[in-house]
Structure 1
Amino acid sequence: MPTRSFARAAVVGVGALALLGSLTATSAVAASDSDRGSAQVLAAPYAVEPYETVNVRSGPATSYDKVGSVAANQPRGAYCWTRGETITDNGYTNNVWVQLLEGYVSAVYLKGNEYGDLPASATC
């Protein structure tokens, strides 16, 4: 009997480790995604942060291709701002677009001032 109990405990232990392993792998992926965002912030002279998920475009207008998105409250590195298509959303209207490493986002969706908290002198 002691052998069976030991074998059963070993099977349960292996199952628990398998579950723990998959959770650890998921956590590692999530951590590396946030680390990648941090690295992009450090690579640029400014940092911006959207207050909601925002589309990233290849140019400063919605007519440009969508090349990705940035999740709400996920900081991203920014280089400069330029004028583009006027966007109205959530009670704000603005034609300022901020250039990130990945592309352009409308400043309407960024925390801070009308330039997404970039200095007014940081034009592209």
Structure 2
Amino acid sequence: MTTHIVARAALVGAGALALLGPLTGGTAVAASTGGQESVHVMSAPYAVVPYEAVNVRTGPSRAFPAVGSVAAGEARGAYCWEFGEPVSDYGYTNNVWVKLAEGYVSAVYLKGDEYGGLPATASC
């Protein structure tokens, strides 16, 4: 009987890891909507987190209209990055923009490296 319980516990643990594995790898990200009661789940290969509020734009430049924003610390699903208008803030300049489902954000405001935490190979 003890062997059966241990085997079942191992299977349950393996099942939990199988379910959590994709989430920790960034394939699905759950993010709150900044004070609203609902939670949006976005399916994307990567996750990004801004360190301060950032505007989401229709293209990789401040010349494109803003279509929303992402609050500081709010994780979002990301697909790829591309070069666009250079943005300077806090003494740092970067011309990488990250594509989210809703539009583009400047990597200057994202946690991580110059690609906003995406792999260098994840160009659009």
**TM-score, reference length from structure 1:** 0.71
Q: CA RMSD in A?
A: 0.9
Q: What does residue 5 of structure 1 align with?
A: none
- The aligned runs of 1:21-36 (5 Å cut-off) are 30-32=36-38, 35-36=39-40
1:48 corresponding residue in structure 2:
48
User: Which has more strand, going by share of residues?
Assistant: 2
Report the Cα offset of residue 55 of structure 1: 0.2
* TM-score w.r.t. length of structure 2: 0.71
The number of residue pairs the alignment matches comes to 90
- Structure 1: unaligned runs, 5 residues or longer: 1-28
- Report the equivalent of 1:99: 99
- Which of structure 1's runs of 4+ aligned residues deviate more than 6 A? none
Q: Gaps spanning 5+ residues in structure 2: where?
A: 1-34
Give 1:30 deviation, angstroms: 2.5
- 1 or 2, which has the higher helix percentage? 1
Q: Residues of 1 paired with 2:68 and 2:80: CA distance?
A: 19
Deviations 1:40-68 (A, max 9, x none): 2xx00000000000000000000001110
CA distance in 1, matches of 2:48, 2:102: 13
In our comparison, the structure showing a higher alpha carbon Rg is 1
Identical positions, percent:
64
Counterparts of 1:1-124 in structure 2 under 5 Å? 30-32=36-38, 35-36=39-40, 39-40=41-42, 43-124=43-124
Secondary structure of 1:30's counterpart equals: coil
